[in-house]
Amino acid sequence: MSVTSLSDDADDCTTDSNLERVRIVLPSGDFYTGQWSDGVPNGLGKYLLTDGCMYEGEWWHGRTMGRGKFSWPSGATYEGLFKSGFMDGYGTYTGACGQTYRGSWSLNLKQGQGHISFANGDSYDGEWRAGVQEGRGRYVWKSGSEYVGTWHGGTFRGVGLLTWTSGNQYDGLWEGKLLGQVIEAISPFGRQ
């Protein structure tokens, strides 16, 4: 490991006398520059991995903790809150292909309320659990059709209303598809 201490640097505004600014090349080839305490990143810093990934933000005793930004070589990014090394709290993920998710995270998975805009123009706004749509949500296709209702395991499940761009609607039960148990079918010309 190669360490260069920068603790006398005029840019170091920390009041914790145990923190020093360093530039370190780790045995793995990873590179860290930033605040350092007790042999680990602590405070603000940037960590560049040999695989091209990078984290820049707050550290607490060697783990990403607080606000930060993680970037992948593909061009994907996550900017938001981290806890114990995980995306955890509110944050924005932008995929390499253009999809964007803004919302709550827990242990690197979408969890709670969130909004995703897909690269194809579709979007979903609603509840998430363990990385998939779960609970109430609204999915809008680029065409303008929309589904508002309950989700389970990432699919329509339970009661929901699908409105096509033609104005036709299906208000009924779903199990990932129409179940045929129509509560009410409505066309633009009135109830059927």
Per-residue pLDDT of the chain (192 residues; tens, 9 = 90+): 444 444 444 344 444 557 899 999 989 999 999 999 999 999 999 999 999 999 999 999 999 999 999 999 999 999 999 999 999 999 999 999 999 999 999 999 999 999 999 999 999 999 999 999 999 999 999 999 999 999 999 998 999 999 999 988 988 888 876 555 444 545 554 444
The pTM (predicted TM-score) of the whole model is 0.82
User: Beta strands of 28-177 (E only): which ranges?
Assistant: 31-37, 40-48, 54-60, 63-71, 77-83, 86-94, 100-106, 109-117, 123-129, 132-140, 146-152, 155-163, 169-175
